[in-house]
Structure 1
Amino acid sequence: MQITVVPASPKTGQAAIRVLLADASNPTVKGYYRNLAKVPAEFKSNPRFEAVQGDVEDAATLDFSGSDAVFNITPPLYEEKDIIAHARLVSENVKAAVKKADSVKRLVLLSSGGAQYDHGTGEIMTNHEAEVILKDAAPEVVLVRASYFMENWAMSLETLPAGFFFTTLTPLDQPLPMIAVQDIGATCAAELLATGTALPSNPLIFELHGPREYTSLDVQKAFEEVSGKTLEMRPVEKAGLDDFYAAVFPPTVAAQFAEMNRSFLEGGILHEDPQPTGERKYGRTELVEVVRQMLGA
């Protein structure tokens, strides 16, 4: 079996590739990179891995012929551009490449919780756009709606030495589904390896959560347990989200991230969730394990 990962540079793509290369069925893996200098040494040295230079923004660079399955990740955009138009462009390019390659039987798309909505979710709307375009791109399509990445808390590493970290998850005791990147990779790899088996529905759509939900207080506890230090948690209230993200991202991107953040707080569309996905799968990695990895403990 040959599996293509496009793009291959995101951490989720890398996690899936590691699982695929370790699988006993010995699939070959092709990874697409805009910059081949970003190919990890562990992949370069594996005879079953092939790095290909290509860009999802340029349809002419994508050739999936010979591949049985494709794992697609909609890359985040941190530039001052129309992120919805960008998601539409790259998804159309991937769809065209899948259609052109008669060999592709299954497409697995890494999407996001909340991708069922076409409004009110900010940056998550890029995943909605990708789902709409790719839902019929291949004979078998799997849409994996991942919850909040545990690794997003890595943004706190910059301030931890000063004894504090910010949280945009308020109230502090509000639980939120979170998932580890390694569990995303393992789940998507399993779906890719199952290519050719009948899906219970097509497209198959499911939410991917961690073993349990976590609050900001849980995050504080994990950081303190691993670091061995008492840490101050500085909440960013809903009214301050625009200013908080504006200090990090360009204006358009900041507005999208602020809206996304508000969408899963009280009163937000994902908090109320009148249109849940239904099926749900769970990872095994606890938040404290991810924190240990982030802190190198």
Structure 2
Amino acid sequence: MHITVVPASPKTGQAAIRALLADASNPIVRGVYRDLSRVPAEFRSNPRFEAVQGTVEDAATLDFSGSDAVFNITPPLYQEIEIDIVAHARQVSENVKAAVKKAESVRRLVLLTSVGAQYDHGTGEILTNHEAEVVLRDAAPEVVFVRASYFMENWATSLETLPAGYFFTTVTPVDRPLSMIAVQDIGSTCAAEALATGTSLPSNPHIFELHGPREYSSLDVQKAFEEVTGKSVEMRPVEKDGLDDFYAAVFPPKVAKEFTAMNKSFLEGGIMYEDPQPTGEKKYGKTELVEVVKQLLGA
């Protein structure tokens, strides 16, 4: 089997490639990179891996010929100031769809998307995933949408303040449990879906949410930091009315606005908190939060 990962440089793409190359079925894996200098040495040295130059922003650079399956990630935009991130998601998804159709050999498209992608309003940055789902729902004979929950690796932003003994959390109230998933579980799940190309799907597109082994609150995150560092760690909650200023200090104005809206969407009063149109099927990863914290801290 031949599987293409596009783009291949995000951590989720790397995790999927790693899982594919470790699989006993020995698939051939192609990774699409804007910058070939970003190809990890562990992949370069594998005879079943091929790195090609291309970008989802330019349909002419995408060549999926010979691929049985494509694993697609809608790339996040954190530093762009003027760009409309939803329009950008629509365009790159159209480019991927065109490349899939042109290749003809592609039987299955697996898209990494997000919980809340079923909503066309009220979710901020997650609207990029909604747009991708709308465009790609009929891109291939078999389509799978993996709606991942909150990335455990998002807590990597705390590494800047942990040496000073504290971290910020925008997940409030601090005792409220939230579904979180590890990147390595996302990668292995998406790899498994790509490897299942040709098998029947319960629906098309087949859509499921991907959760961690259990839910975690901000208090659980604090405990994990303290367990791994062996030190007392102060938690500094950012309440709902302070989110605008918090994200404005981190991102350009337009991006900050979308991240604020996304964060508010899963707090009380938000559309994802109420969840009027639940996805239904859920699958679960195995990696615990403390394991990810150990990886983040190099412990």
State the shift of 1:293 in Å.
0.4
For 1:230, the equivalent position in structure 2 comes to: 232
Which amino acid is 1:255 matched to?
K
Q: Secondary structure at the match of 1:46?
A: coil
For 2:151, the equivalent position in structure 1 comes to: 149
Which amino acid is 1:224 matched to?
E
State the shift of 1:195 in Å.
0.2
For 1:20, the equivalent position in structure 2 comes to: 20
Which amino acid is 2:112 matched to?
L
Please list every run of 5 or more consecutive structure 2 residues that lacks an aligned counterpart in the other structure: none
**Counterparts of 1:218 and 1:266, CA distance in 2:** 19
For 1:189, the equivalent position in structure 2 comes to: 191
- TM-score in terms of structure 1 length: 1.00
For 1:166, the equivalent position in structure 2 comes to: 168
Q: How does 1:1-297 map to 2 (within 5 A)?
A: 1-78=1-78, 79-80=80-81, 81-297=83-299
Q: Secondary structure at the match of 2:236?
A: strand
**Counterparts of 2:24 and 2:294, CA distance in 1:** 29
State the shift of 1:21 in Å.
0.3
**Counterparts of 2:269 and 2:290, CA distance in 1:** 29
**Counterparts of 1:32 and 1:243, CA distance in 2:** 36
**Counterparts of 1:223 and 1:75, CA distance in 2:** 29
State the shift of 1:31 in Å.
0.3
**Counterparts of 1:45 and 1:6, CA distance in 2:** 19
State the shift of 1:111 in Å.
0.3
State the shift of 1:200 in Å.
0.7
State the shift of 1:186 in Å.
0.5
State the shift of 1:68 in Å.
0.2
Q: Secondary structure at the match of 2:260?
A: helix
**Counterparts of 1:41 and 1:206, CA distance in 2:** 33
Q: Deviations over 1:252-281 (max 9, x none)?
A: 000000000000011111001010000000
State the shift of 1:228 in Å.
0.2
- TM-score in terms of structure 2 length: 0.99
**Counterparts of 1:157 and 1:77, CA distance in 2:** 21
**Counterparts of 1:138 and 1:84, CA distance in 2:** 22
**Counterparts of 1:65 and 1:161, CA distance in 2:** 48
Q: Deviations over 1:109-130 (max 9, x none)?
A: 0000000000000000000000
Size of the alignment, in residue pairs? 297
State the shift of 1:223 in Å.
0.3
**Counterparts of 1:16 and 1:112, CA distance in 2:** 16
Runs of 4+ in 1 over 3 A off after TM superposition: none
For the aligned residue pairs, the C-alpha RMSD in angstroms reads 0.4
